A and B are shown apart, each in its own frame.
Chain A
């Protein structure tokens, strides 16, 4: 096992890897930042689009079939989800820097997590603990 996330008590976790050990406490502020991410992401996305003179409506495909109009929002949703995921990653990176002194990707490198499976497992366990759920 390359790392361990140990729950010492309620809201008290330790991340152990190699000879390193970090204590962290998921709090209300972190939860607030994570749940605020979709809003911040959408505002950022709209600002970016506005800069390029594009509107969100440009990503919706309008189709007419049997006299009815259908709207395909797949592209719009995909773009929004990308922004939301990036924003959440930014929040997680901030938490990692604050608690472990490294961003998530730097932490993964420092832990020598080589393959996707290991990295995904760690990210998911860390995410769960940050949301106050036992990994």
Chain B
């Protein structure tokens, strides 16, 4: 899961992104937006959006970053932006653990 609609922090970021890029609407109006239309907008999120960096930090492969400082930067961001496990299904948590172990092995 790279973004969680059920996680208030992510939902607020999505709302802020929508208002900044498209139209200034109330939060209640935002919740009533069609999911497909909104997902399409989210899929083509511009790189200069704060939400883009959050998503990138969740998907980036730390093992592939050669520069030590940059790796440290993204590791911190990954930690800060992590979706709490309580929002995920057990299968997802298991998959992520495996992925993290792979990342960890790549760094060492």
- In A96-110, the 8 Å CB interface with B consists of none
The CA-CA distance from A28 to B6 in the complex, in Å, is: 10
Q: Which residues of chain B are near A77, meaning CB under 8 Å?
A: 90
Q: Give which listed residue, A28, A33, A42, contacts B33 with CB less than 8 A.
A: A28
Q: Which residues of chain B are near A131, meaning CB under 8 Å?
A: 35
Beyond A10-B34, A31-B35, list 10 extra A-B contacts (CB 8 Å): A10-B37, A25-B34, A28-B33, A29-B31, A32-B11, A38-B88, A84-B89, A131-B35, A132-B34, A132-B39
B104 contacts chain A at the CB level, 8 A cutoff? no
In the bound complex, do residue A11 and residue B35 qualify as a contact, i.e. CB atoms below 8 Å apart?
A: yes
In the bound complex, do residue A81 and residue B89 qualify as a contact, i.e. CB atoms below 8 Å apart?
A: yes
Q: Which residues of chain B are near A95, meaning CB under 8 Å?
A: none
A27 contacts chain B at the CB level, 8 A cutoff? yes
Q: Give which listed residue, B4, B11, B34, contacts A27 with CB less than 8 A.
A: B34
Q: Give which listed residue, A26, A80, A84, contacts B36 with CB less than 8 A.
A: A26
Considering only CB atoms, which chain B residue lies closest to A25 in the complex?
A: B34
Residues of A whose CB lies within 8 Å of any CB of B are 10-12, 25-39, 42, 77, 80-81, 84, 131-132
Q: Which residues of chain A are near B89, meaning CB under 8 Å?
A: 38, 81, 84
Minimum Cβ distance to chain A for residue B24 (Å): 16
Considering only CB atoms, which chain B residue lies closest to A29 in the complex?
A: B31
The CA-CA distance from A32 to B6 in the complex, in Å, is: 4
Using a Cβ–Cβ cut-off of 8 Å, how many residues does chain B contribute to the interface with A?
23
Q: Which residues of chain B are near A31, meaning CB under 8 Å?
A: 5, 35
In the bound complex, do residue B86 and residue A38 qualify as a contact, i.e. CB atoms below 8 Å apart?
A: yes
B7 contacts chain A at the CB level, 8 A cutoff? yes
Q: Which residues of chain A are near B35, meaning CB under 8 Å?
A: 11, 26-28, 30-31, 131-132
Q: Which residues of chain A are near B38, meaning CB under 8 Å?
A: 28
**A-B CB contact pairs (8 Å), 30 listed:** A10-B34, A10-B37, A11-B34, A11-B35, A11-B37, A26-B34, A26-B36, A27-B33, A27-B35, A28-B14, A28-B31, A28-B32, A28-B35, A29-B31, A31-B35, A32-B6, A32-B31, A33-B6, A34-B6, A35-B4, A35-B5, A36-B7, A38-B6, A39-B87, A77-B90, A80-B90, A81-B89, A84-B89, A132-B34, A132-B36
Q: What sequence of 0s and 1s flags, for each residue 11-46 of chain B, a beta carbon within 8 Å of any chain A beta carbon?
A: 100100000000000000011111111110000000
